[in-house]
Structure 1
Amino acid sequence: MAAAPSMAAAIAASLPAPQAAPTPTAPTYDAIPASMAKAIDIETDIPVTSVQLDGLVVSKIVKHSREVQSSNAHGLLLGLDLDGTLEVSNSFALPHHFNDDEDKSTKGVARYQASMLRSLREVQVDDSVVGFYQAMPLGSFYSQTLVETQAVHQDKLRHGGVVVVHDISQGARGNASFRAFRLTKAFLDAYKKNNFSTDSLIVHRLTFSSIVEEIPLRIRTNPLLSSFLETLSAPAPTLAVDVKPSAATSTAAVPPSFSVLNLGSGNISRNLEQVIDALDNYRTEEGNLAYLQRQIAREKAKADAYVGKRKEENASRVAQGLAPLPEEDVSRLFKVPPEPSRLESMLLLGRIDATAKSLESTSSAGLVKMYAAKGSAGV
C-alpha cells in the first residue's frame, strides 16, 4: 500500500508542467495623420440645419434663469452634431462674479469651465462644447458682449456653435421660449476686419436684420420623462372606500395653472418701457455719431484748405521762376479722426425691432383676452 503514493507522485512528476495562459497584448492604435483627418471626419462637410434640445437641458436652463432672476444667467451647451442636426444633450451654468474686476472674473470662469469639462470627461458624459445659452429678454439679445462671445465660438468650434436664447419675459408668463441663433458670414467677415464704417456696411450689405440668422429648434423628450410628466399632471385615484364617486380622485401633483387667464396688462407696460429705453439709447448713439461726423468734416475741410493754399503758393512761385515749396504730409499736420463704428447703432436698431415685435405679440394676445373677458361678462 505504501507504493501507491510513490507511484502517483512519479506519474505526476512525469507529466508536463501546466503552462500559464498567455497574457493578451494591449491593442495599439495608429494616430490618424493630419492630412487624412478631414477626409475621415465627414461631419465637418455637413452644415448644421437644425438644433435639438434635450428635455434635461430645457429644465436646467429654466431653473437657472429663475434662480438668477436677471439677464446674467448663461452657460455652456454640450452635445454632438449628427447629419446636420446639433444635438444638445447636456449643459451647465457658468458663474457670474459681480464684485470682481473683468480680468479676475474671466480667469475664474475659465478655471471653472475647464474643471467642469474634466469632471464630465471622467464620468463618460458628453463634454464637447457646441455653443452656449443666455437667458434674457429677446430684445436684449442684440448686445456687443453676446455678439463677441458668439464670434469667438464660431471661430473656435468645428461647426461654429450656436447661442440658445431663453426669453425670460415669456417664461414669466408661463411660455417656454427658446430660439437658436448664429452670426451670418457677412457679419463675421466685417467683424474679423473690425470695420463697421458706412462703406463696409454697404459692401457687406449689412443691416440689423442680417447680423444673425435663426436656426430651427426643436425639443426632444424621452419616453421616461414624458411618462413622468404625465403622471404628475394626471389625477391619482384615492383608496378610501367611503368616498363619493364625484370625489374619488385626488388632485394632481402638478396643480393646474390659470396664467393663461391673466390679461397681461402689466407685460404691455413693461414692453413699452423697453421700446422707449431702446429708442432713447439709439437717439443718444446717433447724436454721438453725428458729432463725430461733424468733427471729421471740419478736420477734412482744414486739410483741403491747406492743400489748396499750398498749390496756389507753388503756382505763384513757379510763375516767378522760383522753386516750389516741398509738399508736406497733411496727415501729420491735421489729425483727422477715423470714421466711427456703426455696430452699436445697428445692434440698437435690432433691439428696437425685436422689442417691438414682442410688444406686438403681447398686445394682440391681450386684446383677444380682453374681448373674451368682455363677452363672457355680458358687457
Structure 2
Amino acid sequence: MSIDLFRSPVWTLPPPPPAAPTYEAIPPSMSKVIDIEAEIPLQVVQLDGLVVTKILKHSREATSATVHGLLLGLDLDGTLEVSNSFALPHHVSDEDEKSAKSSGMRIHDTRRQCCGPYGEVQADDSVVGFYQATSLGAFFNQNLVEIQAIHQDKLRHGGVVIVHDLSLTARGNASFRAFRLTPAFLDAYKKSNFSTSSLVNHRLTFSSILEEIPLQVRTNPLLGSFLGSLTKSTPSLLPDATPETARSSVLPPSFSALDLGTTGLTRNLEQIIEAVDNYRTEEGNLAYLSRQIARERARADMYVAKRKEENAARVAQDLAPLPEEDVARLFKIPAEPSRLESMLLLGQIDAYGKSLESTASSGLIKMYGVRSI
C-alpha cells in the first residue's frame, strides 16, 4: 500500500453561520391593539353569546353547587374579549380540595391539558380568567380569592372572574358580573398579612377586596337570527285550530312572573342567619386568640420589668448586672390572627342583605298586585 505524500490535502470549510432572524416592526395602526407588554389598562369585558349560553347550560346541568370553568379569549386595546369557555370537573373526594391554592394549581394543570385542542383548530386558547356560579349574590369565599390571586400573578393581563348568579337567572334575569382583585388587597395577600394594622394601612374592607369591571355581551348575527326565530309565531299544525290558536309561539308561555317568591325569601333569611352565626363564631375565635396574645405579652412585660429591678438592685450592691435574655425565645407569643375570613363573611352578609332587599321589594309589589285583584 503506497501513500502519496505529495498530494495536496483536502480542507473542509466550516458551515456558514445561521442568518440572524429578522423581525418586522408592528405597524403604527396596530401598535395600540397588540398590547405585548400589557401596558393598556383593562376597561371592559366583552362576553360572546356562546360563552353566556355555555355558562347557563353548565350551571343548569351541574349536579353540585360548585360550578366553575375557564374563560378563553384575547385582549385588544383595553377590551377583554371572551370568545369561549369550558367547564371544569368538580372533585369532591380529593384530600387537597380543602386547600384553595391546590385548587388553583389544579386549574392550571387542567388548562395545559384542555387548551391544546383549541389551538389546533385555530381558536382562542389563551386563558383570560375563570367563571363561577353562585347563589343569592354571595360569592365572597376563600377559594375564589385564592384562585383569582394565582391568575393575576401568572396570567399576562391578570385575568378576571365572571360571577353568575343562579338565583337571579331562575327569576328570568341572567346576571353576569366581572371582578378582579384590587392592588391594595394583592399587596396584603403577597405579604400574607391581614392583621388589624395591615388592614388599616391598606384601607381594606370587604367592599375593597374586589373591583368590578364593566361587562357587555356581544351577540353574533347567527345567534341573533336564532333568537329572533324563537320570538316569531308559527302556524299551528292542528287542522281544526280556532282563530285564537291558529298561530303559536316556539317558546312555551312562562308564568314565573306570577310566583310571589316566598320560597326565595325564606331561603335568603336562612342564609343570612347562617352567615351571621359563622361571623360570630369567627369573631369569638379571634377574641380568644387576642386574649392569649395579650396574656403572653403581659407575662413577657412582667419578666422584663422584674429583670430590670434585679439589675438595678445588683448595681446598687456593686454587682454585675444579669445578662438580658431573649424574650421571644422564653415566651412563645403567637402572631396576630388573620382577619381575612371575617372580612369575607361580612361580604357574604352584605350580599345576602342586598339580595333580600331586591327580592322583598319585588315580592311586595306582587302581593299588592294580588291584593288589588
Confirm or deny a common fold (TM above 0.5).
yes
237-246 or 317-326, which deviates more:
237-246
| CA shift for structure 1 position 119 | 0.7
Secondary structure of the equivalent of 1:45? Answer: coil
1:233 corresponds to: 231
Between structure 1 and structure 2, the one with the greater Rg is 1
CA distance, structure 1, for counterparts of residue 149 and residue 325 of structure 2: 42
TM-score by length of 2: 0.87
Work out whether 1:96 is the aligned partner of 2:58.
no
What is the aligned length?
344
Candidates 75, 80, 85, aligned match of 2:79: 85
Candidates 317, 331, 334, aligned match of 1:334: 331
CA distance 1:275–1:346, shift in 2 (3 Å): same
2:149 corresponds to: 151
**What stretches of structure 1 move > 4 A for 4+ residues in a row?**
103-111, 238-244
- The one-letter code matched in structure 2 to 1:80 is L
CA distance 1:297–1:242, shift in 2 (3 Å): closer
Contact 2:44–2:80 (8 Å) recurs in 1: yes
222-231 or 95-104, which deviates more:
95-104
255-264 or 43-52, which deviates more:
43-52
Secondary structure of the equivalent of 1:90? Answer: strand
CA distance, structure 2, for counterparts of residue 270 and residue 264 of structure 1: 10
CA distance 1:235–1:188, shift in 2 (3 Å): same
1:123 corresponds to: 121
1:57 corresponds to: 51
Candidates 316, 319, 342, aligned match of 2:316: 319
Contact 1:139–1:350 (8 Å) recurs in 2: no
CA distance, structure 2, for counterparts of residue 188 and residue 171 of structure 1: 31
CA distance, structure 2, for counterparts of residue 348 and residue 246 of structure 1: 54
Candidates 291, 294, 301, aligned match of 2:291: 294
175-184 or 228-237, which deviates more:
228-237
| CA shift for structure 1 position 322 | 0.5
Secondary structure of the equivalent of 2:124? Answer: coil
CA distance, structure 2, for counterparts of residue 111 and residue 339 of structure 1: 34
Contact 2:54–2:85 (8 Å) recurs in 1: yes
CA distance, structure 2, for counterparts of residue 359 and residue 51 of structure 1: 28
Q: Which segments of 5 or more consecutive residues in structure 1 lack a partner in the other structure?
A: 1-27
Root-mean-square deviation over aligned CA pairs: 2.3
CA distance 1:314–1:234, shift in 2 (3 Å): same
Contact 2:148–2:160 (8 Å) recurs in 1: yes
| CA shift for structure 1 position 108 | 6.6
1:363 corresponds to: 360
TM-score by length of 1: 0.85
1:189 corresponds to: 187
CA distance 1:290–1:31, shift in 2 (3 Å): farther
CA distance, structure 1, for counterparts of residue 124 and residue 41 of structure 2: 21
